[in-house]
Amino acid sequence: MKRRLISHSNFASICIVFSILTISLMTGMIECSPPENKSLTQYVNPFVGTAGGGNTYPGAVLPWGMVSVSPHNSTNSPSGYQYGEKYFYGFGQVHLSGTGCSDLGSIILTASRDIFQLDPEKYRTIYSNEQARPGYYSLELTEHNIRAEVTATQRCSFTQFHIMKSSEWVNVLLDCGRSLSLIGGGGVRILSGKKIEGYNVGGGFCGEDNRHLIYFAAEFNIPADSSGIWLIDRLIDGQGAEISNEDIGCRMKFKIPEDSIIAVKIGISYVSCENAWQNLESEIPDWDFDNVIAQADSAWQQQLSRVQVEGGSKEDMIIFYTALYHMLIHPNIISDINGEYPLMGRSGIGRYSSRERYSIFSLWDTYRTLHPFLTLVYPDRQSAILQTMVDMYTESGWLPKWELAGNETYMMVGDPAAIVITDSYLKGITDFKIESAYQAVIKPSILSEGQFAPPIRAGYHELLQYGYIPADQDTTQEWWVWGPVSTTLEYCLSDWAIAQLAKTLGSEKDFQEFTRRSLLYRNLFDSNTLFIRPKLRNGEWYAPFDPLATEGSGSWTGSGGPGYVEGNAWNYSWFVPHDISGLTSLFGGAQSFTTKLKECFTNGHFTITNEPDIAYPYLFSYLPGEEYWTPFWVKKLIEDHFSVKPDGLPGNDDCGAISAWLVFSALGFYPACPASNIYQLGIPLFRRITLQLNKKYFPGEKLVIEKTDLSESGSLSGLPQVFFNGIELTGYQIEHDQIVKGGRLVFENKK
């Protein structure tokens, strides 16, 4: 049977019909620099991206934290939250940031007065006065006169319900059966008036078959006067109860005076309730809420300070540091304090003794921007992520493609893991099992004659047979190829990455073979229309052909035009980052290439809201005499599509991928071709940027990026001259090996 893959990057967002809170930010154009020793967290606005389809969340999370305790106000949003929705349903304990499909959102905690309801549509409540900053979120439950605030550690949440007005009873609810997943179920056990444990069943990401259990251990600061478990539509009173069902939760009932606090600490584990308790006891041993907030703020300050910016407006600083904040959420830790984690495929339990395990690998999105940035600025973290990826291969036989909570979802297309591994290794992260990694990237691309490709590389056997994946693809295989043109292009880039790794490791044979395969995209280039377009098995072009079509690749809205993934011919016809010179020749030369690329931008065919074409502004920098258009379009895209407002991210953030485009662009250079050693130059957003380099991986201590000789408006005019350590750069690019030696990268107006 065919496997149906559902789009995740263009998930349709529900329109905002209510306005609950207006965020007022001082965003004047006076240039601003962080005061000495002042926390950078003041420049992070977690509400950015919570409207307009960004699908981020405003709740409390630590850098790469397992737990992300965040409000649910929308049952239709992948993150559980859309800015401006009217009702609060509770705090989920774990979430996805910026994805187009829903999952997680498990173990929902909320509070109510007097009347107890089992149906979320009845226990929901109007809310107001939201506040959010890194590691902290609060709101008021208006109908119940309760103020709720949350914070988090790596594996635990801490919630305080402030009882603002006396009443007969306060109910604290833990919904264990519901989540943001397509499937539900769970179990709960009341251990005492202060302690509860249980689990939630989730999965079904984008309609796929993934399943996971998320365990919890909850402790209250005071004992409940009564407790009970609800099962579907009835309440079973009494302590010591233990029940499992799809529609299940726990009610703790308190008779409490005005101005009192009901506090709840929740430990989370993907392994067991026992581990959840151990996580809780280790990370929040007492009831000092303010101390946990301070620790969260300190953790964010430590990570954000790896990049220091000066000489920009406050609005630009908020845009920048909020984007950096969103980049440091996924992949996130999934291992417990004792080192245990679910094996890939959830086939058992593994255990690390000296490092952490990671999860949420949205690699089709993040290989382009996020992982190259982690490699440069957070190489120690990227190294741990790479080690996790190799371990996943050892456990399951395959590298991850779109992994979620220990399961492969097989979402999206291509083979992005090969690109991530090669990019990191070539740029200096070598402290992982490269022999195993090389076997892993080669395995899905080595096929015996007549063998169908594995799901990691669905349709790859047809690419080898025809030189492209045909639009009239083989329907006898189990795995359907979504977007044969797009998938062909993705495989070509992955094969080029494998070739670079093979060359570095001394395998000339593999280097030659995978270099050859990387150029098969040329079979889909139509010299008459100057588009890369779908082709049939018999070698004829697929017709009718509409380069603007964005529907027809799948049965759902936004699937992409026939042959393409979430895009059209305009979005994909320059997606050959590893062979720009060869692609230019196919166009008939630089003039034809440039003319059509300019048309893509001026006629509105380029989109910053999805990943396939986001490197296109930097393609002008490959073309002598046309380099000016790179800083022009980068500056315009930032001004037009990024802001400090809730809709200040253009489209799904996709686990930080779009935010990473902004951050790289703000630095003034960009990895237009991942798995190469080259960055294309653009234009810095700030007068001065300082990157702290990791001496364990790189020879330099810091890279300083500056704009000098500015015009009166504070901007560069025309194409700047660029100098690295006093030597002018040519070709409008810079090598990674140069950058990591440290020094000064200076952009200045031409004399």
Q: Which helix (H) or strand (E) holds 728?
A: strand 727-728
Q: Please determine, for residue 125, whether its predicted confidence score (pLDDT) is greater than 60.
A: yes
- The per-residue pLDDT for 2 is 30
pLDDT at 24: 35
pLDDT of residue 473: 86
Q: C-alpha 223: how far from its chain's center?
A: 39
Confidence category of residue 708, pLDDT binned at 50, 70, 90: confident
pLDDT confidence of residue 236: 76
Q: Is 116 exposed, middle or buried (0-12, 13-18, 19+ CB in 10 A)?
A: middle
pLDDT of residue 599: 98
Q: Residue 241: is its pLDDT beyond 70? A: no
Copy the structure tokens of residue 619. 């393609």
> Residue 12: which pLDDT band, with cuts at 50, 70 and 90?
very low
Q: Residue 624: is it exposed, middle or buried by C-beta count within 10 angstroms (0-12/13-18/19+)?
A: exposed
User: Among residues 552, 667, 569, which one has the least CA distance to residue 618?
Assistant: 667
Dihedral over Cα of 13, 15, 19, 22: its sign: positive
CA atoms of 580 and 241, how far apart (whole Å): 65
Domain that holds residue 542: 446-576+578-585
Mean pLDDT of the chain: 91
pLDDT in tens, 498-526: 999 999 999 999 999 999 999 999 999 99
Residue 193 belongs to domain with CATH number? 2.70.98.10
The predicted pLDDT at position 36 comes to 53
User: What average pLDDT does this structure show over 202-218?
Assistant: 94
Q: What single DSSP character describes residue 378?
A: -
DSSP codes joined into one string, 51-98 = STT-----SEE-TT-S-EEEEE--SSSTTS--TT-SEE-EEES---SS
CATH number at residue 512: 1.20.1610.10
* C-alpha–C-alpha distance, residues 340 and 356, integer Å: 9
pLDDT of residue 477: 75
- Helices vs strands, H then E, count in the chain: 18, 38
Length of the chain counted residue by residue: 751
- As a whole-number percent, the residues of the chain with pLDDT over 90 amount to 82
Least confident of 27-36, 195-204, 734-743: 27-36
Does residue 675 form part of some domain? no
Q: What's the rounded Cα separation, in Å, for the pair 568 and 275?
A: 47
How many other CB atoms sit within 10 Å of the CB of residue 30?
A: 8
Among the ranges given (5-9, 317-321, 411-415, 747-751), the one the predictor scored with the smallest mean pLDDT: 5-9
Is 80 exceeded by the pLDDT of residue 330?
yes
Greatest mean pLDDT among 338-352, 443-457, 476-490, 737-751 lies in 338-352
Of the candidates 727, 606, 739, 596, the one whose C-alpha atom is nearest the C-alpha of residue 670 is: 739
**pLDDT value at residue 184:** 87
**Whether residue 281 has pLDDT greater than 80:** yes
- CB-based contact 248:187 (threshold 8 Å): yes
The rounded Cα 592 to chain-centroid distance in angstroms is 36
The number of beta carbons lying within 10 Å of the beta carbon of residue 85 is: 24
State the average pLDDT over residues 601-606.
Answer: 97
Q: Residue 458 — φ and ψ, nearest 5°?
A: -50, 135
566 close to 528: Cβ distance less than 8 angstroms: no
Output DSSP code: residue 714.
S
Bond from prior residue into 544 cis (ω within 30 degrees of 0):
yes
The residue ranking higher by pLDDT, 338 or 715, is 338
Q: How far apart are CA 680 and CA 595, in angstroms?
A: 20
Q: How far apart are CA 341 and CA 581, in angstroms?
A: 46
> Domain for residue 641, yes or no?
no
**pLDDT(633) > 90:** yes
Distance CA 4, CA 555 (A): 9
Amino acid identity, position 80: G
Whether pLDDT at 240 is above 80: no
Q: Which residues on adjacent β-strands are paired with residue 110? A: 173
> Which strands, in side-by-side order, build the sheet including 226-231?
60-61, 68-72, 90-92, 108-113, 170-175, 248-254, 226-231, 234-237
CA 667, CA 669: separation in Å to the nearest integer? Answer: 6
Going by pLDDT thresholds of 50, 70 and 90, the confidence category of residue 59 is very high
Q: pLDDT, tens digit, for every residue of 634-649? A: 999 999 999 999 999 9
Tell me if residue 607 falls in helix, strand or coil.
coil
- Give Cβ neighbours of residue 201 (< 8 Å, ≥ 6 apart): 177, 181, 183, 184, 185, 186, 211, 212, 213, 246
User: Looking at the predicted structure, is the pLDDT value of residue 341 above 70?
Assistant: yes
Separation of alpha carbons 158 and 171, rounded Å: 17
The least confident of 43-47, 260-264, 445-449, 473-477 is 473-477
Q: Report the SS3 class of residue 358.
A: strand
**Contact (CB, 8 A) for 732 and 681:** yes
pLDDT at residue number 457: 96
Mean pLDDT, range 530-547, rounded to an integer = 97
Q: Distance from CA of residue 29 to its chain's centroid?
A: 30
Query: Do the Cβ atoms of 172 and 139 come closer than 8 Å?
Result: no
pLDDT over threshold 70, residue 20: no
Residue 233 lies in a domain: yes
Residue-level pLDDT at 716: 53
Band (610; pLDDT cuts 50, 70, 90): very high
What is the pLDDT, as a whole number, of residue 123?
A: 84
**Among candidates 210, 321, 280, which has minimal Cα distance to 66?**
280
| Final residue belonging to a domain, choices 585, 609, 629 | 585
pLDDT above 80: residue 717: no
**Any idea what DSSP says for residue 541?**
B
Q: How many domains does the chain have?
A: 2
pLDDT above 80 (res 711): no
Does some domain include residue 527?
yes
The torsion of the CA quartet 436, 441, 445, 446, rounded to 10 degrees, works out to -20
The helix/strand/coil state of 196 is strand
589 Cβ partners below 8 Å, 6+ apart? none
Long-range contacts of 585-592 (CB under 8 A, 24+ apart): 586/522, 586/525, 586/527, 587/530, 588/527, 588/530, 590/623, 590/624, 590/626, 592/530
Alpha carbons 316 and 311: distance in angstroms, whole number = 10
Residues 718 and 628: beta-carbon distance below 8 Å: yes
Share of the chain above pLDDT 70, in %: 92
What is the distance between the alpha carbons of residues 101 and 731, in angstroms, rounded to a whole number?
A: 41
On the question of pLDDT at 122 being above 90, the answer is no
Check residue 115 and give its pLDDT: 64
**Is residue 232 predicted with pLDDT exceeding 90?**
no
**Averaged pLDDT for residues 235-251:** 73
pLDDT band of residue 31 (cuts 50, 70, 90) is low
pLDDT at 1 over 90: no
**Alpha-helix residue ranges (DSSP H) falling in 256-352:** 273-283, 289-304, 314-327
Where does the pLDDT of residue 750 fall: very low under 50, low under 70, confident under 90, or very high at 90 and above?
Answer: confident
Q: pLDDT, tens digit, for every residue of 161-194?
A: 999 877 678 999 999 999 999 888 899 999 999 9
* Listed residue (491, 401, 534) closest to 455, CA to CA: 401
Q: Identify the three-state secondary structure at position 611.
A: coil
Indicate the burial class of 720 (C-beta count within 10 angstroms; 0-12, 13-18, 19 or more). buried
pLDDT digits (tens, 9 = 90+) for 134-169: 999 999 999 899 999 999 999 999 999 999 877 678
Choosing from 250, 271, 304, the residue where a domain stops is 304
pLDDT tens track for 539-591: 999 999 999 999 999 888 889 999 999 999 999 999 999 999 999 999 999 99
265 falls in which pLDDT band (50, 70, 90)? very high
Among residues 680, 549, 643, which one has the least CA distance to residue 25? 643
Candidates 698, 678, 739; CA nearest to 423 is 678
Q: What is the mean pLDDT of residues 26-42?
A: 61
Last residue of a domain, one of 244, 276, 304: 304
